[in-house]
């Protein structure tokens, strides 16, 4: 159940790789949900590589609008030239399009993809009056973090129902050790100590953290230790300082570091 790609290291946690084969085969648009730094983007990179299809990633934000994604006219050498945006390039050239954190984008983006997510699989470019049929390989993947969705920034059910959906989460201990060691080259014993500490923090519900320690943070601390920083400073700099801006919580976390290392 575990596969390792040489170029893009991805360690599968469940049967997500198998399911992906079928969602892609049926070209059912796929949406990944899960917390920060749990490997969603890695999974997409890995899957694109495995299929041998080019990947275009768009990090959505509140200023991402449909027209940014479709394309624009540029005035160049006194003549006007059309330049495809990332969505149009993916549709035209049969690439995988990954809309990362799609709930952050402006609403017209989620509407833009309507005709790409149903039986039509086409994109209407109003500026050039062109109706673009997606080439065969084109595939749409999106992601979002359910715990972030603030106020109006929720996925509309009508949009969500246009996707099949995979849930991601932090990996179990043994897989996390494998991942951190591989990325930081720190010896396994020290990695296990870091992960034990992070598991402990993840259970401290009373800290009321918006997010807990992600695998990415553990890797950062591991890299600093490997590089020569003492364990305490490496954990505070790499793991606890980025967690919270509340001074009481910061102090508690630092005390915990002093006790643990």
Count other Cβ atoms within 10 Å, centred on residue 81: 10
E strand spans, 92-151: 96-100, 122-125, 130-133, 139-144
Question: Does the footprint of its own copies cover residue 153 (CB under 8 A)?
Answer: no
Among 93, 137, 237, 260, binds its own copies (CB under 8 A): 237
Please, what is the end-to-end C-alpha distance for the chain in angstroms? 35
Binders in 189-218 for its own copies, by CB under 8 A: 209-211, 214, 216-217
Stretch that binds its own copies, among 133-141, 174-182, 187-195, 226-234 (CB under 8 A): 226-234
Nearest to 176 by CA among 235, 145, 218, 222: 218
Site string for its own copies, 73-102 (x = CB under 8 A): xxxxx-xx--x-xx-------------xx-
Question: Does the footprint of its own copies cover residue 53 (CB under 8 A)?
Answer: no
Question: Does the footprint of its own copies cover residue 136 (CB under 8 A)?
Answer: no
d(CA 12, CA 175): 9
Binders in 155-194 for its own copies, by CB under 8 A: 155-158, 160-167
Among 60, 90, 96, 194, binds its own copies (CB under 8 A): 60
Minimum distance of its own copies from residue 223's CB (angstroms): 5
Count other Cβ atoms within 10 Å, centred on residue 186: 22
Residues found in the chain: 261
Question: Does the footprint of its own copies cover residue 249 (CB under 8 A)?
Answer: no
Among 2, 135, 149, 203, binds its own copies (CB under 8 A): 149
At 33, is the secondary structure helix, strand, or coil? strand
Stretch that binds its own copies, among 90-98, 134-142, 146-154, 174-182 (CB under 8 A): 146-154
C-alpha distances in angstroms, 10 versus 6, 179, 213? 9, 8, 19
Among 13, 66, 134, 180, binds its own copies (CB under 8 A): 66
- For residue 48, report the phi and psi dihedrals to the nearest 5 degrees: -65, -45
Question: Does the footprint of its own copies cover residue 4 (CB under 8 A)?
Answer: no
Among 129, 172, 208, 248, binds its own copies (CB under 8 A): 129
d(CA 147, CA 236): 25
């Amino acid at each position: 159940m575990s596969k390792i790609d040489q170029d893009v290291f991805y360690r599968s946690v469940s049967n997500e790789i198998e399911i992906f084969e079928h969602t892609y085969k049926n070209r059912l648009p796929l949406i990944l949900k899960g917390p920060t730094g749990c490997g969603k983007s890695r999974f997409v990179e890995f899957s694109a590589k495995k299929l041998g299809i080019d990947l275009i990633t768009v990090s959505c934000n509140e200023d991402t609008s449909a027209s940014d994604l479709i394309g624009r006219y540029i005035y160049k050498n006194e003549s006007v030239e059309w330049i495809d945006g990332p969505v149009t390039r993916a549709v035209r050239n049969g690439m995988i399009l990954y809309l990362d954190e799609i709930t952050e984008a402006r609403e017209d983006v989620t509407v833009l993809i309507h005709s790409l997510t149903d039986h039509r699989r086409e994109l209407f470019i109003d500026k050039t009056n062109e109706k673009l049929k997606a080439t065969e390989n084109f595939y749409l993947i999106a992601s979002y973090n359910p715990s972030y969705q603030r106020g109006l920034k929720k996925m509309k059910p009508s949009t969500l129902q246009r996707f099949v959906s995979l849930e991601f989460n932090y990996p179990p201990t043994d897989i996390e050790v494998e991942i951190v060691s591989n990325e930081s080259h720190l010896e396994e014993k020290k990695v296990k100590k870091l992960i034990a500490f992070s598991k402990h923090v993840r259970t401290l519900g009373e800290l009321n953290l918006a997010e807990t320690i992600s695998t990415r943070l553990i890797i950062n601390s591991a890299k600093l230790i490997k590089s020569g920083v003492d364990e305490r400073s490496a954990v505070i700099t790499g793991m606890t300082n980025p967690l919270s801006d509340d001074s009481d919580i910061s102090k508690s976390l630092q005390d915990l570091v002093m006790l643990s290392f």
